[in-house]
Amino acid sequence: MTRKIAIAIGFALLASLIPSAGALPRGTEVRAYKSGLDFPIDMEWVKGTKKIFFTEKNTGKVRVMIGRRLLGTPCVDLSVSPDGERGALGIALHPNFKENHRLYVYYTNASPLENRVTRFVVKKNRCTNPNHIVTGLQTKGATNHNGGQLEFVRGKLFVSTGEAADPTEAQDTGSRLGKILRYNPNGSVPDSNPLGPSNPVWSYGHRNPFGLAHKPGSRKIYSSENGPSCDDELNHIVKGRNYGWGDGYVCGTAGVGTNPKGPIVRWSNIIVPTDPTWYRGRIKSLRGLVMGDYANGNLHRFLMNDSDTAVRNDRIVYNGDDPIVDVATGPGRWLYFLTPSAIMRVVKT
């Protein structure tokens, strides 16, 4: 009887994590905010304004929008290698952006060929004073598995990196590939990092962590990760933890290496999860951790446990015709998401 009960509980828990079909909250709809764009991949909103910055993956441009008006001159036009998953991939604004005007971009530099993070100072909508604060993130000749997300948490800059299609890099804590890295805003390494003040590694055992988000006002960090032909993941990121990707990984397991930690959501049928956000905007019934996927054009809202460390339900609240590459809060505190050709938003009807 005990075994039967355990099996029943196990199936119930599994069923609770299967995406449930749903619809947007009553009285809301998806509308195009700006269409005809050239692969926007990550956006940042200057809170309290109508200004948006976003990266164009293939052109290397950081574009500026004020309201729905796209400025003709980009903030900066970076020389990028756009092959495969390379390009201008991530953007973040310093928490004190309104005072110091600092903007950060993660991109694949064309020459020398490397992934890097550059900090700019925005003056009159132009990115000036470039400072390459993180350099030398190798591509190892691979056009995929670049990671590329930036997220500020409690004043520290978190950077996600892929393992450049080499699984051995993910378990090597002396390598910056296949990691979530933690830096000071100037690119130095905090003394409180888990592997010491000279090592930027915050967590390891990652394959291609394409998205980063955190719960505002907390230290809770989440990463979406693209798997192989199985096991796309959503992970709760904890200091010093091994997330299991590496040479010899077996689908459906916690992974390889020392004390590997399995994901809080695992998609065995891959969905290609992209960059999530912790939404706290005007639509109360969508608040919480929200993520898009590239394979199906679904918008996922995760119902969490009381401590926000586990997912009780993966609820699909919208399905569109186009892949979703980023989710963010934007002007009006509506929920925005990017497709390869447009910025969309969920608003009240």
Q: Quick one: pLDDT at residue 22? A: 58
CATH number at residue 313: 2.120.10.30
Measured between alpha carbons, how far is 292 from 271 in angstroms, rounded to an integer?
Answer: 9
What pLDDT, in 10s, does the model give residues 296-327?
999 999 999 999 999 999 999 999 999 999 99
Q: Quick one: pLDDT at residue 154? A: 97
Contacts of 110 (CB under 8 A, 6+ apart): 79, 80, 81
Q: Quick one: pLDDT at residue 165? A: 97
Q: Quick one: pLDDT at residue 132? A: 98
Number of domains the chain is built from: 1
Quick one: 164 exposed, middle or buried, by C-beta within 10 A (0-12, 13-18, 19+)?
buried
C-alpha closest to that of 110 among 143, 133, 159: 143
Share of the chain above pLDDT 90, in %: 93
Q: Quick one: pLDDT at residue 23? A: 84
Nearest 5°: the CA angle 90, 94, 98 is 125
Q: Quick one: pLDDT at residue 275? A: 98
Domain extent for 300: 2-348
pLDDT < 50: residue spans in the chain: 1-21
If you average pLDDT over every residue of the chain, what do you get?
94
Q: Please state, as a whole number, how many other Cβ atoms lie within 10 Å of the Cβ of residue 285.
A: 12
Exposed e or buried b for every residue in 183-213, given b needs 16+ CB within 10 A?
Answer: bebebebeeebeeeeebbbbbbbbbbbbbbb
Decide: pTM greater than 0.75.
Answer: yes
- Which letter does DSSP use for residue 71 in this model? P
